[in-house]
Amino acid sequence: MQLLGKAQSPAFWSEDVRNKKEFERYRNELHEYWTKNDLEHKRFEALRYSDFKLFFTTGDRDIYQRAYFSRREALEVIVPLALIYPEEDKYINTLMDLVYSICDEYTWCLPAHQGKLEVHDKTRIDLFASECAFYLAIVYTLLSDRLDPLINERIKYETNFRVIKPFLSVDNYGWWEVGHSNWTSVCMGSVACCMMLMRPDLVTDKIIARFDKAMDGYLGGFKDDGVCLEGCGYWAYGFGYYIFYADMIRTFTEGRVDHFKNPKVKTVATFQQKMCLSGNRGVSFADSGRGFGYTTAITHRLKTEYPDDVLVYSPKYSTNFMNCGRLPIRLYSASWLVEDFYNNPDESSVSFENWFASSQWYVKRNENYGFAAKAGHNAEMHNHNDVGSFIFAKDSKQLLCDLGSGKYTRQYFEGATRYGILECSSMGHSVPILNGMAQGAGVGFTARDVSFENGVLSMDIAKAYPLAEVESLVRSFIASDESVILRDEIKGDVSVVERLVSLVKPEVGEGIIRLHSATLTFDPAYTVNVSVAEGSANQNKEVYLIDFTLPAGVKVFEVTMK
Identify the band that residue 350 occupies on the pLDDT scale cut at 50, 70 and 90.
confident
Identify the band that residue 525 occupies on the pLDDT scale cut at 50, 70 and 90.
very high
* Mean pLDDT (whole number) for 504-533: 97
**pLDDT tens digit string along 398-448?**
999 999 999 999 999 999 999 999 999 999 999 999 999 999 999 999 999
pLDDT of residue 348: 61
Q: Closest Cα partner for 126 from 187, 179, 180, 77?
A: 187
Q: What is 352-561's CATH number?
A: 2.70.98.70
DSSP 113-158: GS--TTS--S----HHHHHHHHHHHHHHHHHGGGS-HHHHHHHHHH
**pLDDT tens digit string along 275-299?**
999 999 999 999 999 999 999 999 9
Identify the band that residue 8 occupies on the pLDDT scale cut at 50, 70 and 90.
very high
* Mean pLDDT (whole number) for 49-73: 97
* Paired strand residues for 474: 460, 489
Q: Closest Cα partner for 466 from 498, 444, 486, 450?
A: 444
Backbone angles phi, psi at 451, to 5 degrees: -145, 155
**Domain ranges for the chain:** 5-343, 352-561
pLDDT of residue 1: 87
Share of the chain above pLDDT 90, in %: 99
pLDDT of residue 346: 83
What's the number of CA atoms in the CB half-sphere (13 Å) around residue 57? 9
Mean pLDDT of the chain: 97
Residue 151 CA: distances (Å) to CA of 7, 87, 376, 537: 21, 19, 51, 39
Q: Closest Cα partner for 517 from 394, 371, 366, 364?
A: 394
pLDDT of residue 552: 87
pLDDT of residue 379: 97
pLDDT of residue 349: 67
For 240-272, give one letter per residue: b (16+ CB within 10 A) or e. Answer: bbbbbbbbbbbbbeeeebebbeeeebbbbbebb
**pLDDT tens digit string along 95-112?**
999 999 999 999 999 999
Q: Closest Cα partner for 494 from 528, 512, 471, 527?
A: 471
Residue 361 CA: distances (Å) to CA of 94, 320, 333, 520: 47, 29, 30, 23
Q: Closest Cα partner for 271 from 372, 185, 170?
A: 372
**pLDDT tens digit string along 306-346?**
999 999 999 999 999 999 999 999 999 999 999 999 999 98
Would the pLDDT of 347 be above 80? no
Alpha-carbon span 142 to 7, nearest angstrom: 8
| CATH superfamily for domain 5-343 | Chondroitin AC/alginate lyase (1.50.10.100)
CB 424 within 8 A of CB 403: no
CB 484 within 8 A of CB 475: no
**pLDDT tens digit string along 162-188?**
999 999 999 999 999 999 999 999 999
Global pTM?
Answer: 0.96
How far separated are the first and last CA of the chain, in Å rounded? 56
Q: Closest Cα partner for 191 from 262, 269, 244?
A: 244
3 secondary structure, DSSP code: T
Tell me the one-letter amino acid at 193.
C
Q: Closest Cα partner for 243 from 333, 113, 345, 140?
A: 333
